[in-house]
Amino acid sequence: MDTTHCRVGNTQYRMIVSNPSERIRVDTLETKEPETVQWILDQFRPGDTLYDIGANIGIFAILAAAWNPRGTVVAVEPMPASFTRLCENGALNDLTNLRPYCVAIAAENGLGMMNLVSLAPSSSMHSLGDSDMTAQFGEPVVLRTGIGLATIDALARAAGPPSLIKIDVDGGEDDVLAGAAATLHHPSLRSVLIEFNWVEGTTRKEGRDEPLLRAGFVPRATGAEYGRYDVRWQNTIYTRGTS
């Protein structure tokens, strides 16, 4: 299994590269989502806890943990192969401040079904339950598997309240926010970076970010807009209104 050397500023670490998707994620780290990289470098401080919801193989979680060894990274990934690779990448870099969780973040705690488009690490566009987002991405479902569900509020009770939250769940962001009311209002939380997905002709983020606005967050910046078939997506960074 090959590994590749990564460097962002003065931070150096390694990532496992076993398929083309992993290679693309590593090679485009600083160009595809530069706002995410800069958000981590600017916002993640010693003593902070960063939640990476939808961490995949850890492309941002590993960077964050290596960049700030005095902070804690709670990396959540429900897809089994990607979760395994996330853990392997953490072990490869001896990141004792990385806390991986193999669970799907949802609106309620319990058990659910996950629609997988691939069994390979680094794959994406999976979905939960009856969501048709996978089909709208143009992907077939190769397997439906049971998965544990937890809210962000439940995660916060287990892992401690976050200072920062990154959310990238390929269409499940409304349910993630629905289960995060207490965490969003917690005074420790300073900023949220969320990727909103939408189908052409439907609501982008207007109205869907109401849980954030009610908790006192204000949109400060957006990233590039991407699309595939009828689905579009874009990152938005929120901070407290007084920040």
Residue 129: per-residue pLDDT = 87
User: Which comes out higher in pLDDT, residue 203 or 179?
Assistant: 179
Share of the chain above pLDDT 90, in %: 86
> Residue 237: beta bridge partners?
193, 221
Q: Locate tokens 């485009």: which residue?
A: 28
Q: Which residues of 37-58 are buried (b: 16+ CB within 10 A; e: fewer)?
A: bebbeebbeeebbbbbbbbbbb
Average pLDDT over residues 190-213: 90
Whether the pLDDT of residue 156 is over 90: the answer is yes
- Which residue type, as a one-letter code, is found at position 19? N
pLDDT-derived band at 57 (thresholds 50, 70, 90) equals very high
Residue 78: per-residue pLDDT = 97
Classified as helix, coil or strand, 99 is strand
Could you read off the pLDDT of 159-188 as tens digits, one per residue?
Answer: 999 999 999 999 999 999 999 999 999 999
Classified as helix, coil or strand, 20 is helix
Q: Which residues of 154-184 are buried (b: 16+ CB within 10 A; e: fewer)?
A: bbbeebebbbbbbbbbbbbbebbbebbeebb
Residue (of 203, 199, 204, 150) closest to 179 by Cα position: 150
pLDDT-derived band at 242 (thresholds 50, 70, 90) equals low
Residue 8: per-residue pLDDT = 95
Average pLDDT, the chain: 94
pLDDT-derived band at 121 (thresholds 50, 70, 90) equals very high
pLDDT-derived band at 7 (thresholds 50, 70, 90) equals very high
Average pLDDT over residues 34-46: 97
Whether the pLDDT of residue 243 is over 70: the answer is no
Residue 134: per-residue pLDDT = 79
Whether the pLDDT of residue 85 is over 90: the answer is yes
Residue 138: per-residue pLDDT = 80
Q: Locate tokens 């407290």: which residue?
A: 240
Share of the chain above pLDDT 70, in %: 99
Residue 100: per-residue pLDDT = 98
